[in-house]
Structure 1
Amino acid sequence: MTSSTSGTSPTPSTSGTEFGGFDAQEMVIVHRAFRRELRLIGELIAAVGPGNVKRAAVLAEHFADLRSGLINHHEGEDELLWPPMLERLSAEERKVVHRMEAEHQRVVETLDAAAALVSTWASAADTRTRDLAVAAIEEHRTVIVEHLDDEEAHLLPLAERFLTAKEFGALGEHFVMSTPKTKLFKYFGMVMEDADERERAILLGGLPAPVRLVWRALGPRLYARTMGRVRATT
C-alpha cells in the first residue's frame, strides 16, 4: 500500500493481507503492570532504613528486573511495530510514531539515571543516596506514564488499523524469547496481577497450551513467593 500524504490514510487493504482483527488491550494490561510496579518500587526503597543492605539488595534486583522488562518491551516496539507502521501511515500519522521514538529515548535516559543511583545505594543503603534514587525513580515514572498514556491514546488505535494480528503478536513472542526463562513467571505474574477475568483470558489465550498448564499449576504460587520478598515491609 502507498501511504497517503493527506492527514489521514485509509485503512490498508492489500490482497491476501488482513490488517487489524486483533485487540490491542493486551498492551494496555502490560502497561498497567509497569505503572504499578514503578510506583511501588519507589515507595519500597523510600522505606528502607539506613544500612539495611540485605533489603536494599532485594529491591535493587527487582528494579533491575523492571528495567530489563521495560527495555525488552520497547526494543520489541522499535524493531517490530514501528517499521511496518511507518510504511503504511500517512505523513501526519507518522508523526505519532516518531513521537513514540523520541519518548522512548527519554524513557531510557531517565531509567538509566535511576538505575545507576539504585545500584550505588544498594552497596551501602545510605539515606542520602536512597533519597536521590527515589527522586530519580519518580522522575522516570512521570516520563514513562506520560509516554504510556500517549501510546494508548494515539498509537494503539493506529496499530489496530495498520498492523496484522501476526505482526502485533510478534511483540509478545519477542519478549518471551528475549527474557531469561527464570524470569518469565515473574513478568507474567506482574501483568496478570491486576487483570480482570476477561483480560486474564486474553493473556492466557496467547500462551501455548503446555505453558498455560504450567502457569496454572505453579505460576501463581511462585509469583506470590517472589513478590512476597519484594513487597515485605520488614
Structure 2
Amino acid sequence: VYRLGLHNHHEGEDELLWPPLLSRVDLEADIVLRMQAQHQRIAATLSRLDTALPAWEATAGADERDTLVAALSEHRAVLLEHLDDEEATLLPLAAKHITEQEWACLGDHLVHNTPKPILFTLFGAVLEDANPAERATVLSGLPAPVRVIWHVIGRPRYARHIRRVRG
C-alpha cells in the first residue's frame, strides 16, 4: 500500500508537475531538479529494500535483520528530507506557477492509478496524520457522495486495517 501510494505520487509529480514548472521558472529550476534527484534517491532506497526484505524473510538472521534495518533507516531519512524540502520550497513554487486545474490533475492521477481499497488506506493515513482543521478541510473538499462512501465504507475499512497492523 505504502509503496504503491508513494510510486503513484512520485510518478504524478514526474509526469505532471516537473515539466510545467521547469517551463515556467528560471532561477528556481534548481528546486525542481533537486526534487527530481530526490525521487531518484528514494527509488534507490526502495530498490535496496527490495533486496533486503526477501533476504531477511528467508532467514530471519541477525545480519539480514541489520541490513534491512539499515535500508529502512536510510529510506526514512531520504524520504523525510524530500518531504521537508518539498513542503518548504516546492509547494510555494507550485503555488506561484501551477494552476488549480494542473494541481488537481495530480490527485486525479493518484486516484485513477490506485485500486480503490488501497485509496481508502492512503486516505485514512492522511486523515489520521492531519490535525482537526486539516481533516475538516480535506473532507470538505470531497464531493458529497465521496464523503458518504468514505464514512460508510472507507473509514470502517481503514479502522479494521489499522487494528490488524497495530495489533
TM-score, normalization by structure 2 = 0.92
User: How far apart are the structure 2 equivalents of 1:211 and 1:123?
Assistant: 42
1:131-169 Cα shifts (integer Å, max 9, x gaps):
211110001111111111111111110100111111111
Unmatched tracts of structure 1, length 5 or more: 1-64
Deviation at 1:72, TM superposition (A): 0.9
User: How far apart are the structure 2 equivalents of 1:188 and 1:123?
Assistant: 32
Change (3 A) 1:74 1:136: same
**Stretches (4+) displaced over 4 A:** none
Greater helix fraction, Structure 1 or Structure 2: 2
Change (3 A) 1:123 1:181: farther
Give the residue type in structure 2 aligned to 1:141: R
Match 2:45 to one of 95, 101, 110? 110
User: How far apart are the structure 2 equivalents of 1:130 and 1:107?
Assistant: 20
Alignment partner, residue 184 of structure 1: 119
Query: 1:12-27 alignment to 2 at 5 Å?
Result: none
Alignment partner, residue 19 of structure 1: none
Aligned residues: percent identity? 53
Give the residue type in structure 2 aligned to 1:170: C
Alignment partner, residue 139 of structure 1: 74
Equivalent position SS for 1:227: helix
User: How far apart are the structure 2 equivalents of 1:95 and 1:147?
Assistant: 14
Alignment partner, residue 70 of structure 1: 6
How many residue pairs match? The answer is: 167
User: How far apart are the structure 1 equivalents of 2:62 and 2:152?
Assistant: 41
Give the residue type in structure 2 aligned to 1:97: V
Equivalent position SS for 1:207: coil
User: How far apart are the structure 2 equivalents of 1:196 and 1:179?
Assistant: 25
Match 2:151 to one of 186, 199, 216? 216
The CA RMSD over aligned residues, in Å, is: 1.5
Give the residue type in structure 1 aligned to 2:131: D
User: How far apart are the structure 2 equivalents of 1:136 and 1:175?
Assistant: 26
User: How far apart are the structure 2 equivalents of 1:186 and 1:179?
Assistant: 11
TM-score, normalization by structure 1 = 0.67
